[in-house]
Structure formats: structure tokens, C-alpha cells
Amino acid sequence: MNPESPLIHAKHVFRAAILLLAVLIAMLLGRSLFVPETWGEFGPYRGAAVAEHRDKPIRHGGNDSCAMCHDAEYAEHAGGEHASVQCESCHGPVAFHVDLEEGEVVAEMPVHRSRELCELCHLRLEARPADFPQVDVREHVLSNGGEFTPDACFECHDPHSPI
């Protein structure tokens, strides 16, 4: 009996090792192809997604941004009954009116002169807090000698500083 080389018996070990190495390389290759670059930066998700959410454009600027041009209206509004109502609550976001990057007016700010705007807050509803000022608009207008027109509210009330 010839003494066999000990490597002959180790052949299957090498085969398995090569196979394992091939699987490992394939896995790492697949991983680098399919896993996003910033995956796992902060946790089991794509880390860059956080910054992407942060970088979305701001559209509501708050009353201070309106005051930069409309200081008279701002002052009148700030001293009136509607002081807690934001300009953008009725007019819409400032970004639709001014390009916030360039500081240029891009469109007219909407002015809603309709009863429906006032009714959003002041139409009498059973679910509204009882101490909040609310009226049956039709009855309120008619009993005050007005005409029940679409802009009836504005005959008596200035929305910037109503009484």
C-alpha cells in the first residue's frame, strides 16, 4: 500500500473553502450593487433620506414674512380681534406669492372676499365650542338689515380687524 498524500484527503475541504469564498464574494458584490450608499448610517434605513426630508421647501412663512412688505396691514391685524389668525390662514402660503429664494413676487396673493371664508370659523355649528363667536349667517345678515349676498360679511366687518 502506497502511502497517500495527506492532501488527497483534504481535497473536499479546499472545495468547500473555494465554494464558500465564491459565495462570500458574490454576496459582497451583490450588496454593493443593491444596498444604497448611506444604508445603515443611522439605523436600518437609508441615511440620506433624513436630509432629503429636511431639504423640502418651506412654504408657510408666518406673519413676520408678510410684515416685510405689508407693515400697515400687519399692524392693523396685530391690534385687532383676529390677531391670533395667521395671514396665511385666509390668504394661503406666502411661497405661492413670493419666491422665497429670490425674494420676488411671483403671483398675486389670493384675497377671498366671500361669506364662505368667514363661515369656515364663524358659522354656527353644534360641535363648535360654545364660547367661540359664531352666527347663523343668513339670520345674522338679514336681522341687521343687510342683503344675503356672497360678500355680505364684508359690508360691516373688516377681516383684518373685525368687531
Partner 1 sequence: MARHDKDSARPLIPISRREFLNRSSSALAGSMVIALILPEGSSAGIAGADYDWDRHRWVYLIDTTKCIGCGSCVRACRAENSVPEDMYRTWVERYEIPAEGEAFIDSPDGAEHGFDPVATGLSVRKGFFVPKLCNHCDATPCIQVCPVGASFATRDGVVLVDPEHCIGCGYCVQACPYGSRFINPTTHTADKCTLCYHRITTGRKTACVEICPVGARRLGDRKNPDDEVIEILATQRVEVLQPELLTRPQAFYLGLDMEVR
Residue 60 makes contact with partner 1 by CB under 8 A: yes
Ramachandran angles phi, psi of 135, nearest 5°: -135, 155
DSSP codes of every residue in 114-161 = SHHHHHHHHB--TTS-TTS--B-HHHHHHHTT----TTTHHHH--TTS
Smallest distance from partner 1 to CB 72, Å: 21
Contact yes or no for 48/37 (Cβ under 8 A): yes
Query: Which residues, 71 to 100, sit near partner 1 by CB under 8 A?
Result: 82, 84-86, 88-89, 92-93, 96
Query: Which residues, 18 to 47, sit near partner 1 by CB under 8 A?
Result: 20, 24, 27-28, 36, 39-47
Encode burial over 118-140: b for 16+ CB neighbours within 10 A, e otherwise. Answer: beeebbeeeeeeeeeebeebeeb
Span near partner 1 by CB under 8 A; candidates 54-62, 105-113, 138-146, 147-155: 54-62
User: Considering beta carbons, is residue 4 or 101 the nearer one to partner 1?
Assistant: 101
Query: Of the candidates 114, 120, 95, 113, which has an alpha carbon nearest to the alpha carbon of residue 105?
Result: 95
- Residue 49's contacts (CB-CB under 8 Å, 6 or more residues apart) are none
User: Considering beta carbons, is residue 50 or 67 the nearer one to partner 1?
Assistant: 50
7, 33, 51, 163: residue in contact with partner 1 (rule CB under 8 A): 51
User: Considering beta carbons, is residue 121 or 145 the nearer one to partner 1?
Assistant: 121
Residue 140 makes contact with partner 1 by CB under 8 A: no
- Residue 38's contacts (CB-CB under 8 Å, 6 or more residues apart) are 46, 47, 48
73, 109, 114, 119: residue in contact with partner 1 (rule CB under 8 A): 119
- What residue ranges bind partner 1 (CB under 8 A)? 20, 24, 27-28, 36, 39-47, 49-60, 62, 82, 84-86, 88-89, 92-93, 96, 119-121, 123-129, 132
